[in-house]
Amino acid sequence: MKSDSASKGNVVSNIPKHIGIIMDGNGRWATKRLLPRAAGHRAGVKNITPVVSYLLEEGVKCVSLYAFSTENSGRPKDEVDSLVDLIRKRLKPMTRELIERGARVVFSGDRTYFPTDVQKLISEVEGENTDPSSSVVNIALNYSGRSEILRACRLAAEKGEITADSLERELFTHDLPELDMIIRTGGEKRLSNFMLYQAAYSELFFTDTLWPDFDKKELKTMLEEYTARSRRFGKL
Ligand code: IPE
Ligand code: IPE
Ligand code: MG
C-alpha cells in the first residue's frame, strides 16, 4: 500500500480511494427543531465542507456527494425552489473552499433540468480546476443511477459495440476510481438510485445520524471499520 496517507498520521492505512455519501436527513433535522425543511437543507450544505475536507486530508482521492436526485424534483414546488435557490447561492462559496484545498469539482446528473443561471454556475465551478491529478469532489445533481446507465448504453451504442469498457467510458465517473465505500446518513437503508452501476462491490455504511449532525468522529469510526472489513470481490 502506498504510504502517503500513513506518513501524514492518518486514521487508517488502507484508506478508500472513492467514497460516496448519501446526505439524507436534512428535513427531519429541521422538523425536530420546529424549523422549515429549507433550514435543514441550509444546515446540510454547511456540513459538506468540513466532512469533505477531512476526507481529503485523510488521503481519500474522490468524494461523491448525492445532493439532489432526479426523483427529488417531484417534491412540493416550494421545497424544490428552495433547493435550487440554495444551489444558486451556496454552490460557489462551498466549492471555492474545496478548490482552494486542491480539489477538482465535477458534477454527475442531468443539469439541463436547472435554470440557465444555475447551469452557468455549474460550468464555472467545473472550469476552476481541471487538473486531472487533483483529488475530486463529484456532486450528483438531478442525478439518477438508472438514467446514468441508460445514457451510457445509448452513447456507447452510438459509437459502436456495447462492452463493459465502452459503457464505463460513458458513465459520469469514467475517470474516477472505483467506488470503495458508500455512507448513508439519516437512518434509511437503501441506495435511492445512487451510483447503481458503481456500487457493485462498495462497502455500505448506514447511520441514524441526520446529515447536518454527521461529523468527523463518526466518519473516523467508519473508516476504521472499513479497514477491518474483508473485501473478497467474489473470490476466496
Ligand atoms: C436529503 O435530506 C437532502 C435531499 C434529498 C435534497 P431530505 O430532504 O431527504 O431529509 P429527510 O429524509 O426528509 O429528513
Ligand atoms: C436520497 O434521499 C437523495 C439525496 C440524499 C439527495 P431521499 O430522501 O430522496 O431518498 P428516499 O426518498 O428516502 O428514498
Ligand atoms: Mg430523505
- Distance of alpha carbon 231 from alpha carbon 219, whole angstroms: 19
Q: Is 219 left (phi over 0), alpha (psi -120 to 50) or beta?
A: alpha
> Residue 6: its pLDDT value, please?
42
72: annotated active-site residue: yes
Q: Is 22 in the pocket of ligand 2 (CB under 6 A)?
A: yes
The three three-digit cell numbers of residue 160, written as one number: 459502436
Alpha helices, H only, 101-201: 116-128, 145-159, 164-168
> Residue 51: its pLDDT value, please?
98
> Residue 83: its pLDDT value, please?
98
Phi, psi at 192, each rounded to 5°? 45, 45
The three three-digit cell numbers of residue 209, written as one number: 445520524
Residue 99 burial by Cβ neighbours in a 10 Å radius (0-12, 13-18, 19+): middle
> Residue 9: its pLDDT value, please?
53
Measured from the Cβ of residue 165, the count of other Cβ atoms closer than 10 Å reads 9
8 Å CB contact between 77 and 33: no
The three three-digit cell numbers of residue 109, written as one number: 446528473
3-state SS class at 194: coil
The three three-digit cell numbers of residue 60, written as one number: 481519500
> Residue 1: its pLDDT value, please?
37
Q: Which residues surround ligand 3, an ion (CB under 5 A)?
A: 24
Q: Is 143 in the pocket of ligand 2 (CB under 6 A)?
A: no
Residue 214 Cα, ligand 1 centroid: separation in angstroms? 14
Residue 24 Cα, ligand 1 centroid: separation in angstroms? 5
First to last CA, the chain: 21
**Ligand that lies nearest to the alpha carbon of residue 211, given by its number in the listed order:** 1
Q: What is the pLDDT along the chain (236 residues), one digit of tens a residue?
A: 344 444 455 666 789 999 999 999 999 999 999 999 999 999 999 999 999 999 999 999 999 999 999 999 999 999 999 999 999 999 999 999 999 999 999 999 999 999 999 999 999 999 999 999 999 999 999 999 999 999 999 999 999 999 999 999 999 999 999 999 999 999 999 999 999 999 999 999 999 999 999 999 999 999 999 999 999 999 99
Q: Is 63 in the pocket of ligand 2 (CB under 6 A)?
A: no
- The secondary structure element, H or E, covering residue 63 is strand 62-69
Residue 86 Cα, ligand 1 centroid: separation in angstroms? 14
Q: Is 60 left (phi over 0), alpha (psi -120 to 50) or beta?
A: beta
> Residue 102: its pLDDT value, please?
96
Q: What is the pTM of this model?
A: 0.95
Of ligand 1's listed atoms, the one at least distance from the Cα of 29 is: 14
8 Å CB contact between 121 and 139: no
Of ligand 2's listed atoms, the one at least distance from the Cα of 211 is: 5
Q: Is 186 in the pocket of ligand 1 (CB under 6 A)?
A: yes
24: annotated active-site residue: yes
Q: Is 192 in the pocket of ligand 2 (CB under 6 A)?
A: yes
Angle at 137 (CA atoms; ends 124, 226), nearest 5 degrees: 175
Residue 226 Cα, ligand 3 centroid: separation in angstroms? 24
